Structure 1
Amino acid sequence: MRELVKQELKKNILQLAKTRSTGTPLQLADKLGVCKRSVNRLVNEIREEGITLPYSRKLKTYTLD
């Protein structure tokens, strides 16, 4: 995955997380047009960058406070 595309996807994930509208990882993958595995990798990279991005099982979404 190209770095520019990856950065744009991460930005989209964070924007959706701010509004608690990512959905499940599978739903997020569908929204972004990537596979679930790519979502997991992107979320892990975001977390490695020091951003707290928890997943709420109750709300079924990633959240960003």
Structure 2
Amino acid sequence: MSTFIKQIEFIECVDQLIRLKATGTPSALAYRLGVSKTKVYRLINIIRELNAPIEYDFSIQSYVYETEVSFKFGFYLKDRLSK
């Protein structure tokens, strides 16, 4: 599998965990994903560069979105009504 697609899959996985407020600490997230803590920080930075309003909530020890956002990547069928 290409590195690019793997990166997108990581982003989708982390996005889901952020929505659930269930990432845990960076160390716990790294363990869950099977990557280094450094890779987790890089991935969080990439997500931020994509304009995601991420912050770390120390009270629940999880990354969270400051405001509700959506991440979509891929090809989707055009709505028939929009032709």
- Shorter-chain TM range is over 0.9
**Residue 32 (structure 1) aligns with:** 33
**Deviation sequence 1:6-61 (CA, Å, 0-9, x none):** 11001111100001000000000011110000000000000001011111111100
Higher relative contact order (CA 8 A, sep 6+): 1
User: Using the alignment, how far apart are the partners of 1:2 and 1:37 within structure 2?
Assistant: 17
**Residue 17 (structure 2) aligns with:** 16
Q: TM-score, normalised by structure 1?
A: 0.94
- Bigger radius of gyration: 2
Q: TM-score, normalised by structure 2?
A: 0.74
RMSD: 1.2
User: Equivalent pairs: percent with the same residue?
Assistant: 34
User: Using the alignment, how far apart are the partners of 2:41 and 2:4 within structure 1?
Assistant: 16
Instruction: List alignment gaps of at least 5 residues for structure 1.
Output: none
**Residue 56 (structure 1) aligns with:** 57
